[in-house]
Structure 1
């Protein structure tokens, strides 16, 4: 046996919904060696930059190690009894609707199952929702309206078999790099494969595209209605499939013909090319993600895509179908166990009396809610109004990640009783809790997750739980027992929970539902421990694709095409709010950085919050490159570094979602996103807030590095870890009276040797502090954005006061390839000195771009810039 596999623990990556398999080995010093699992069907050994850096994120430095009650350390018995008593008393005094759970796609399926069972079956409340509401709820709604079930029809293999891949609302190259690389590898084998990207912004995914459709924000329905109308005009409808398997065809087609495609802002030539590619390609896969879902018309966008695939019968067949890719590692698993407020476990419907009775009988539950609970945005509004009086938040950070986040934080702070289960007590949300419960983290957990193509994989723990941390299922089950439901929550291990979930899925299968893994209902503990990845359904019929020959999960077995018309954005642009703000992820960070932010390698790529803004808009606003801007509307305000680029169009801008009050308090972006939601799915519109942008008139800018800590007190700061400590960007509206005193306060060092260099007239100041280990800290201040070699200074060299590398040393520059730690200057030097002419040549010389490939668009841009410079010379 290959020793690489023999001495490793097989698990799954905890980041996106690709569900990559990983091989884990403990390093002996509390760390972890992480490699891709070559046998896992999702990734076949490949990992992205975040997956490769997982071993750097497992430290216990900021872990929550003990239960905390009102800020003080408590034992488990007291903490859990308090939680059980307060929830019991609140339900008794105010009814089941007065309590709520807000859970997360970071939870394993077994954890999720127990949470849903506790809330809906025993507390009697449907007020359990998940942060997947912010990601995939519109897909769930669209699937159910069209198919009668939340079914992803296809598989990852379809991406490699397709003639045309359409990426709409999906920056697959950065957000799901392993899938993107699978597509590019397939195209290298079949160069005739085409890729179309539909996105208002030019993203890294456009680098490999044959066509980029930069449509106006929110106009997706108009585009796919136009496609459907052309499918009809050009005789591309699959009449036999429609007659046998689809209802609502005439109405949907009539609505499509009545739709106005001009609101997309796309040229006739681009529209004609898109239609020709779509209709002329036998096998089409349309991949969609947050850009489609995160909209007040998200469900309609999903159904507009589904309409086109249904109309042509391009669904469920190899290389064909609509494909939703999920944002979190277990968003699918959460949907399977009923983690959303309007669902029951195993894709059963909460408001269907037969389904409800079957689940209640299976659980032997005392009560079941008869109507859907409050979805995420409405749930926190109810918290703010005092209607929800006891709230339990598990593995998510809504005080930062929810729209209108300032109001959400205020609601949580004002709640009568708030419990937070998490791995750290340092999140913005955890700091508001009455009770903190220490949970096990990835690499300590044991259970299952489901990826975007319905593959269920085992997550296995390797590291010991630190302190007194416990698995989520065990915490939830103990509270259930303490609330009086001893038998129902008498679990000893996750395998027992998995068997129960699988058995319940057999009942769902009996109702004709899609989710059925009852073939696993009798799995032994030993077989669960060694279980290999498998794709559901796993019963009489195993795995595979859905719907190629009909068999939809509606009452009559037919799919439904919906008549749709484009709707306007929730927040129209005005004279006072003329810019359209798009939000999303960066390549190397994840959610609010509680995990990825620990990796020095990942932090080195984009170290502070930024705003992509078009050069024309930057000129009108009066902001220079690397200057700061203030983005604001009626909901909130943020200060961000200006990244001037034509990747965004005039009047549009983009900002990442990752920064928090702990990492960059003025960079929290969701405070600008209004709480407007899709009326069907309840998913917020996170891609099109109306904002104003002004130049932030900083009097001074700073950059600091330190071995120990950096404690800023200024209008703007962004702090990230380095290999030797911390680095921090700073700026302020007021200049300190004494910079030397300000520097000592910044670094918390009142003693020690300090060298300073100040130019009061020019507005510059430099200070370096020395200790027993040599350089301890350095601060650089300027009247303009500080021009120093940041990556060199992060190494705390003794020559730091110059801000530049000595002549005999090379500054690698900002990290471009996070997988192999290759910097900008290293790449530029190699291009010039070795006369490199292609991205492949850069990879051969430096390894950059040879793993996950998500840096390849940047490498191509550097090559183009170098070649343009040579041509100009």
Structure 2
């Protein structure tokens, strides 16, 4: 009733929703509320998922992880023909299904169904849930390639082949942020000699594998060429960008999709669904819901505490790859992680600040120092996600729809060492 009576309502959420065993249905529940109170298609209203990457939407629309380029469908003959005609490739080259999910890839490495793995710009030795599965990972796979701007990540150190790549300041391209805005990445400095961009590395390996003619790689010489191919594929789709010119994105405020061919950009900021027509056959929005599922693991006598994980501070980022060497971070944050625990629980366990404890879950264990804090409530403890600690304890439990790991939660026991 409180939100229904407001003129403008917007909902914002971060990884506490998205990294959950019911992430998809939770996000849809928020969207359902927006439908109920007509908080969609209006300025200052709507559901907003905040993700940590500048190209959050670009990767969803154009990476072909869960759909073909621009939201086209694997099982649509017309969509497949449009893509094969524009890229000038044979239909059988186009995948027939979504890519394997993160956990499925690791599981297939374990079973030897995947013998070679190429990891780009991520550090799963630390970030994979229940990451004790990643121990001795190099011995489980025949050939591990890591492509990154950092050579000292835990995963890069395991690589058989390390491919150094440029930073965003040393290359060009485009991205699409969370408000549908296409922006330009512009080269500010030249990269060190011999260092190539991700784009160049992938393109040149394709050529080295003899795929130049089969995939028509000459059509992909530059990021601008790739943009124009993706632009052509977007025609007629919700994210139609046929009216966007690559060179015009530079030094601009960016352009929100859709912008169709010969369509005038009258406003820098445009709202979708003002007419309440949606991307469905009957133009109506759909309520999607199901009964909430009970979390399969609740505290018990063996593991009596809820473990919550999350960001340890504003200066810390993911597995510390970007931030560990920054002087301000080194001076502000400890070099090792802490377990935050409420004073009442600490008293019951007879532990005090800086004591070393053994934290155990059904997935693994770790030794960690204690910090007593009123930021956590009785029965809950907190470990940040950045150091190689929390994911020794988290569950390998996944949302059934998005396959997002349930990073934020596990049940644990605590014992003073």
TM-score (normalised: structure 2)? 0.91
Give the CA deviation at 1:456. Answer: 2.0
Alignment of 1:552-571 (within 5 A): 552-571=278-297
1:688-710 CA-partner distances (Å, limit 9, x unpaired): 11111222x2xxxxxxxxxxxxx
- TM alignment of 1:486-501, pairs within 5 A: 486=212, 488-490=216-218, 491-501=220-230
Partner of 1:308: 33
Q: How do 1:393-792 residues align onto structure 2 when only pairs under 5 Å count?
A: 393-486=119-212, 488-490=216-218, 491-506=220-235, 510=236, 513-520=237-244, 523-524=246-247, 527=248, 529-539=250-260, 540=263, 544-585=270-311, 586-607=313-334, 608-660=336-388, 668-695=389-416, 697=417
Q: 1:351 offset after TM fit, Å?
A: 3.7
Structure 2 unaligned regions, length at least 5: none
Displacement of 1:685 in angstroms is 0.8
Which residue of the partner structure matches residue 168 of structure 1?
none
Counterpart contact for 1:413–1:433, Cα < 8 Å = no
1:601, CA displacement in angstroms? 0.7
Deviates more, 1:593-602 or 1:639-648: 639-648
Is residue 19 of structure 2 the alignment partner of residue 294 of structure 1?
Answer: yes
Q: CA deviation at 1:682?
A: 0.6
Distance 1:408 1:529, change over 3 A: same
What CA distance in whole angstroms lies between the structure 1 residues aligned with 2:367 and 2:78? Answer: 53
Greater share of residues in helix:
1
- 1:108-127 residue pairs with structure 2 within 5 A? none
Query: Contact 2:87/2:229 (CA < 8 Å) preserved in 1?
Result: no
Q: 1:322 to 1:355 in 2, by over 3 A?
A: same
Q: Deviation of residue 573 (structure 1)? A: 2.1
Q: Distance in 2 between matches of 1:443 and 1:621?
A: 50
Structure 2 counterpart of 1:329: 54
1:304, 1:622 → 2: CA distance?
42
Counterpart of 1:277 in 2: which secondary structure?
A: coil
> In the alignment, which of 72, 96, 103 is matched to residue 348 of structure 1?
72
Q: What is the CA deviation profile of residues 831-859 of structure 1, one whole-angstrom value per residue up to 9, with x for unaligned ones?
A: xxxxxxxxxxxxxxxxxxxxxxxxxxxxx
Q: Describe the SS at the equivalent of 1:279.
A: coil
Distance in 2 separating the partners of 1:670 and 1:339: 28
Unaligned runs of 5+ in 1: 1-275, 661-667, 698-873
- Render the CA deviation track for 1:530-556: whole Å, top value 9, x for unaligned: 454222222247551222322211222
Quote the offset at 1:560 in angstroms: 0.7
C-alpha contact (below 8 Å) 1:518/1:538 kept by paired residues: yes
Partner of 1:172 in structure 2? none
Contact 1:517/1:538 (8 A) holds in 2: yes
SS at match of 1:591: coil
Superposed displacement of residue 296, structure 1: 1.0
Deviation digits for residues 353-394 of structure 1 (CA, Å, limit 9, x no counterpart): 432332233223331221223111111111111111221110
C-alpha displacement of 1:528: 5.3
Change (3 A) 1:382 1:412: farther
> What is the SS of the residue equivalent to 2:170?
coil
Does the Cα contact within 8 Å between 1:570 and 1:685 map onto a contact in 2?
Answer: no
The TM-score with structure 1 as length reference comes to 0.45
Q: In 1, distance between residues paired with 2:404 and 2:398?
A: 5
1:281 is aligned to 2:9: no
Which structure is higher in RCO with an 8 Å CA cutoff and minimum separation 6?
2
2: CA distance between counterparts of 1:368 and 1:410?
34
In 2, are the aligned partners of 1:577 and 1:690 still within 8 Å (CA)?
yes
User: Do the aligned partners of residues 370 and 545 (structure 1) sit closer, same or farther apart at CA in structure 2, a change above 3 Å counting?
Assistant: same
Alignment CA distance shift 1:371-1:460 (3 Å): same
Secondary structure at the counterpart of residue 378 of structure 1: helix
Counterpart of 1:358 (choices 82, 89, 103) is 82
The alignment of Structure 1 onto Structure 2 pairs a total of residues equal to: 405
* Change over 3 Å in CA distance of 1:329–1:643 after alignment to 2: farther
